[in-house]
Amino acid sequence: MAAIRIATFNLENFDETAPNQRPSLAERIALMKPQIVRLRADIVCFQEVNGQERPGQPRALLALADLLAGTNLQGASVTSTGPAGGGVFNERNLAVVTQLPVTAHQQLRNDLVSEPLYTRLTAIPPDPAAVPVAVERPILHVQVDLGAAGALHVINVHLKSKLPTDIPGQKIDQFTWRTADAWAEGSFLSSMKRMSQAVEVRRLVDQILDGDPDAKVVVAGDFNSTPDEVPVLAIRGNVEDTGNADLATRVLVPIENTIPEPARYTLYHQGKGQMLDHMLVTRNLLAAYRGSEIHNEILHDESLAFATDRQYPESDHAPVVATFEL
C-alpha cells in the first residue's frame, strides 16, 4: 500500500507586498517554506491565497508558486477558485495542489443553496425590502485519481469568519460600531453566511454519495468554527443529530479526534487554543487512516496588541496533515 498525506493550511492573506513594506513576501516565504517541506503532503488544500498580476498576463497565484519552489510540490498542478472569465480572484482564493492527476473540478457559491433574503433592522437608511445575504467565497471540489485506490473527492472550504458583516451607516471607522445592536446584527449576518456555506458543503457531499455510495470524500479547510459548533456539525451529519441510523455511512469523521486534546488546536487566541481548521473524511477512509499531525508549535497569540504581522510574518493558522495507506 502507498502512503498518501493530505494537508490543509490557511496561509493568511498570502500575497506580494509593496516595496519597503514589512514583512516582505521573501521574509514570509523564508519562514513558511520549511512548513511546506515538513508537511510532505501529496495533496494540500490551501486557503487565503491572493492572486498577482504581471503586465500582459492574467492574474495568477505567483506568490504561491514561489512558496512551493524547492519543495515536493514544485511544479504540481494547482486547481483554484476564480471568476467566471478565468484567472483567479484578487484575494482569498482556495487552491488544491497535488502531483497526482486531477480528473475534474468545480467551484460552488450558492449553487446548491439559494441566497437567504433578510431585511436589516439597523441599516441607515432602513432597507426598503429584504436583501440577499450572499457568501463571499466559493467552495472548491476537486477529484484526484489515486490509481488502483480509485478517485478521491477533495472539498476545500473557507467558511465565513465570525467578524460581523458591515451594515450601512453603522460603522464609525473600520473597527468601531455605532451601536451594540448593529454589531450583533452584523454577527448574525456572518453566521447566516457561514451556515449557508456549511449547508452547501453538506449537500455537495450527499450529491457525491448519491452518485456513488462508496465514494471517498475529504472535506478540509478553515471552518472558522470549533468542533462543537453548528457549521461543523451540519457538515458532519452525525447520527446523534439526524436520529437516522440509515445515514451512518454518510457521516463525516473528524481526524483531529486522534490527536491528544491539549495539542488539538490550529489558532491561538486570547491565551486559548482553538480548533478552527478541520479535515473530515467519509467512514470508508478510516480503514486506511494512520494518524494526524497539527504543526502548532510556533503559533503566537494573534489577539495580543504586539502580535503584528511584522513581528509574526508567518500564518496565524497551523497546518493539519493526515496520513492514509491506500
What does the pLDDT read at residue 99? Answer: 97
Burial of 123 (0-12, 13-18, 19+ CB in 10 A): middle
Rounded to an integer, what distance in angstroms lies between the CA atom of residue 301 and that of residue 295?
15
Nine-digit cell at 176? Answer: 468601531
Burial of 119 (0-12, 13-18, 19+ CB in 10 A): exposed
Domain ranges for the chain: 3-325
Nearest to 135 by CA among 100, 170, 159: 159
Nine-digit cell at 160? Answer: 465565513
* DSSP result, 208-276: HHHH-TT-EEEEEEE-SS-TTSHHHHHHHT-HHHH--GGGGGG-EEEGGGGS-GGG--SEEETTEEE--
Per-residue pLDDT reduced to its tens digit, 62-110:
999 999 999 999 999 999 999 988 899 999 999 999 999 999 999 999 9
Cβ–Cβ under 8 Å, residues 44 and 98: yes
Task: Compute φ and ψ for 190, nearest 5 degrees.
Answer: -65, -40
Assess if CATH 3.60.10.10 describes domain 3-325: yes
Nearest to 218 by CA among 277, 158, 155: 155
Task: Compute φ and ψ for 8, nearest 5 degrees.
Answer: -135, 140
What does the pLDDT read at residue 309? Answer: 63
SS3 36: helix
Low-confidence ranges of the chain (pLDDT < 50): none
